Homo-oligomer: A and B are copies of this chain.
């Protein structure tokens, strides 16, 4: 069997005929090298939202299985159109839908998880065709009902197919050239990384460097699939996401990320006794509000302060919930700040290099940026700061940890 290359293209890459022809140019590259290609496509840009709007018109809270069947037509349309165009261009190809592989998922409609992929069926198809055009984002459950994998699920489809076929590489095409050390719109010194580890990518992605869907990175890590993030509109290599040992750039810090969609809540003077944290965070979880950072100060005179962050749009709901708890918890005051942001320094090198935190704090202090909260993990340091300092903090941290390696 020849080498198999998996390529995934997102909605902007297939938004019209012109763009699809660009996609075909990328497909020709491995074909010319004698490889077989599996192309995973998203719905044309805007189509999924159009279908969701239609559903909303028909039903205030649509049945999730019906909704999945509805929105999966978006990918069905793009793979059929691409395949008919590619065939005209002389490519021996066909489209493949989720149920035709099959890509079996659980029945969590709207956010299903892939359970298995019939790789033998795909291999058999690859004997008849040079290119298979697989609909991303969709699967079928054990009852043959169509499922979807959640927003950005096509990345996961591609990685899962690559894992099932033990493909050489899974190329994720996007409209940027790769993964950057930080947001180039915010920091002119941002540079494209040649390689990054799965864990670093996970931390980068969750912080808003939205090149790859988080779950696809988890999947790639679990099955050790090498992912190549690159541009649809350029031949230049992009960024390889791979296992830590294979990441050559053994630097302390891979990148600097930020998230301005944050708000801070402090519940002042709660009684420091068992169950109080549960009392605060259970109702928030039930409202499906994602709490990110949580800090509890040491107790003084039997009372403590609990501070946490939530997405900015969830602040009003969160405050309402907390006010409703006042009688039960008996706190002294409720504070909030919606003008905060997170900046993070990420790198597997932090495991072996001490002093990253101290160096970061000094860098921020030198710019008079006050740190409101701190949270750390093995490979990440996050500081909550005043919103208005975000750009300055990103540039400063990038200069401190990444910029220096440009000349080294």
Which residues of A come within 8 Å of B, CB atoms? Answer: 17, 20, 51, 54-55, 57-63, 65-67, 69-70, 72-73, 76-77, 79-81, 83-85, 87-88, 94-95, 97, 99-100, 144-146
Contact = CB atoms under 8 A, between A and B. Distances in A.
Nearest to A83: B66
Nearest to A16: B57
A95 B77 CA distance: 19
A120 to B, nearest CB: 14
Chain A interface helix/strand/loop/mixed: helix
Nearest to A79: B69
Nearest to A121: B144
**9 closest A-B pairs by CB:** A70-B80, A73-B73, A59-B84, A66-B84, A62-B84, A66-B80, A69-B80, A58-B81, A66-B83
Copies of this chain held together in the complex = 2
A223 B247 CA distance: 67
A15 to B, nearest CB: 13
A73 to B, nearest CB: 4
Contacts of A87: 59, 63, 66
Contacts of A76: 69-70, 72-73, 76
Nearest to A64: B84
18 contacts: A20-B58, A58-B81, A58-B84, A59-B85, A59-B87, A60-B88, A62-B84, A65-B94, A66-B80, A66-B94, A67-B80, A69-B76, A69-B79, A76-B76, A97-B146, A99-B99, A99-B144, A100-B145
Nearest to A70: B80
A95 B63 CA distance: 11
A343 to B, nearest CB: 43
Give the residue among A54, A59, A80, A94 with the most B Cβ atoms within 10 A: A80
A123 B79 CA distance: 33
A81 B85 contact: no
Nearest to A102: B144
Contacts of A63: 83-84, 87
A209 to B, nearest CB: 34
Contacts of A83: 63, 66
Given A144-B99, A145-B100, A55 B84 contact: yes
Contacts of A79: 69
B84 A77 contact: no
